A and B are shown apart, each in its own frame.
Chain A
């Protein structure tokens, strides 16, 4: 039993090492002076198809976007919680199924509330 955990540990170490190398590679190249570095003010400026940006970007958006975002997050988290159950639903049997149904029902109440409060209409 312990051996299989060993493999997982090895796998975790390899994963972390790989990401670390990927992240540190540019930093290392920069320190060794291989990656050239010639900053200039125009390069730091934002790229907008070759011309200067107009007006400011920090603008007040339409509030409706945030409603959509909130609803999406709520239903997305619901899906994440269903995954562990969905992986092994025959073995978990009926009680787990009932629990999941109740859980989904609770989140759908929130969705229904937003629907009735016209959060989804655009105008």
Chain B
């Protein structure tokens, strides 16, 4: 049975490592500052106790005044999972890319960039994946008009 680690039992470990990283921790997920996302993710992946070596998926949700990125991490060895979230503001949505940690993030980040308009710094090949170059706008945004 995959043990879903809640924000509460992971947040203390993260705050011990990066004092001001955790913005909010609830029973579902732990929300981290977007600037420190890469360091926290690297910490989560490399510490032996957590060992989140399998990035299940990345989703992006548009909450009108901010975008929320949801990283669903799983550890195959310990069979536990964690939902890591980060928020970036709407007018300059940029988040460090996780491709150097998990190569599986490559196409998912390109898709989020294409449909939601969030740029991922450090992504090797960030361009549209589902739509064609020269397409105006990002369709999955709530304020997208045909």
**A/B touching: CB–CB < 8 A:** no
